[in-house]
Amino acid sequence: MTAAIIDGKAHAAALRGRVADAVAAFRERAGRAPGLAVVLVGEDPASAVYVRNKGKATREAGMASFEHRLPADTDAATLLALVAQLNADPAVDGILVQLPLPAHIDAEAVLLAIDPDKDVDGFHPVNAGRLAIGAEGFVPCTPLGCLMLLKDVHPQLAGLEAVVIGRSNIVGKPMAQLLLQQSCTVTIVHSRTRDVAAHTRRADILVAAVGIPRFVQGDWIKPGATVIDVGINRTDAGLVGDVDFAAAQGLAGAITPVPGGVGPMTIACLIRNTYVSACRREALDAVAL
């Protein structure tokens, strides 16, 4: 058996297309475009690439893109003042402060300053709480993209055994919450788990988000399982995921590649969240995307 490849690029392109259609209808009704503001502090090369890609995707969807680039020595007060300005700007529906921030700025304080209703990254504690209780809010883009890919493979997720490797606030915890909302039986494993493989071998769905190259071995995977590899690790051999892809292909039923799997879905879900935010702020019904 060779695992089916889950094509994240194709899924993301389709989602961006649906968002663009929805945005065109929104502009007709609201008389304006949804707006996404992205703030970059410093010159981190990877962050600069992410910001450029986010701006491109935003504009391609017919949205307004507001980019704010600040020098690395910007103080916290200046950054917080910009966030307050964006919170009050009616043209801005989503605010994203690109992480990591320079060491002298408290990232948590900055994230807390963002209006939760413009927090399209889904990182604010208010949105984390909304997700935990099943209330309407914003879900972090990477786990939301993972769920969309999973639902394409499994239209009905209820009752499936899901294992999430990693407990970060950005991926692991919200991913587990989303799977729980789909009535999966969910286990989170992490660095203190005594026997990770004993858990993963039970999983119908395995989501790896631990940040260790090829951490998940082939024989850790239940035959026929769906494997979502969130990891993007730079190695001498190039970009690799958290799963040993070659070994997993012979056991999994379906698997995301790295690159070309989860990554493209993250930006697509960001513009989706921005569109949803704009609809909420204009009291318009959002198209299901």
Name the residue with tokens 């996404």.
Answer: 36
Asked if 115 and 107 count as a contact pair (C-beta separation under 8 A), the reply is no
Only one residue has tokens 């989602």, namely: 15
From the list 93, 98, 229, 244, the catalytic residue is 98
Cβ-based neighbours of 5, under 8 Å, separated by 6 or more: 254, 255, 256, 257
Query: For residue 66, what is the enclosing H or E element?
Result: strand 64-70
What is the Cα 222 distance to its own chain's centre?
25
Helix residue spans in 115-262 (DSSP H)? 125-133, 141-153, 172-181, 196-200, 245-249
**204 counts as catalytic:** no
Catalytic residue among 54, 118, 173, 222: 54
Annotated catalytic residue: which of 117, 121, 229, 242? 121
- Gyration radius from the chain CA atoms: 19
At 234, give phi and psi (nearest 5°).
-85, 120
244 is catalytic: no
Q: Per residue in 26-49, is it b (16+ CB within 10 Å) or e — as a string?
A: beeebeebbbbbbbbbbebeebee
Kind and range of the H or E element at 30? helix 8-30
Distance, in Å, from the CA atom of 181 to the CA atom of 220, rounded to the nearest integer, reads 25
**At 104, phi and psi to the nearest 5?**
-80, -5
Q: Please confirm, yes or no, whether 121 is among the known catalytic residues.
A: yes
- Give the active site residues: 54, 98, 121
